[in-house]
Amino acid sequence: MIKSFFTLIILTLSINAYEIIDNDNNFIVKIQNKNFYELYVNLKDEINFNSYVIVHELNLAKSTKAVADALEEKAVVKNGINLLICKTSFTLKMHQENIHNMSFCPMVISVYEDNNSNYISFRKYHPLNENDKIALTINKRLKTLILNSLD
Give me the domains of the chain, ranges plus CATH numbers. Answer: 19-149 (3.30.310.70)
pTM score of the predicted model: 0.84
Q: Please enumerate in sequence order all residues whose Cβ is within 8 A of that of 133, keeping only pairs 6 or more positions apart, or say none.
A: 97, 127
Q: Assess contact for 56 and 44: CB atoms under 8 A.
A: no
Residue 142 CB partners (closer than 8 Å, separation 6+) = 27, 107, 109, 122
pLDDT in tens, the chain (151 residues): 565 554 444 444 445 579 999 999 999 999 988 899 999 999 999 999 999 999 999 999 999 999 999 999 999 898 999 999 999 988 899 899 989 888 888 899 999 998 789 999 999 999 988 888 999 999 999 999 999 999 8
Helix then strand count (H, E) for the chain reads 5, 6
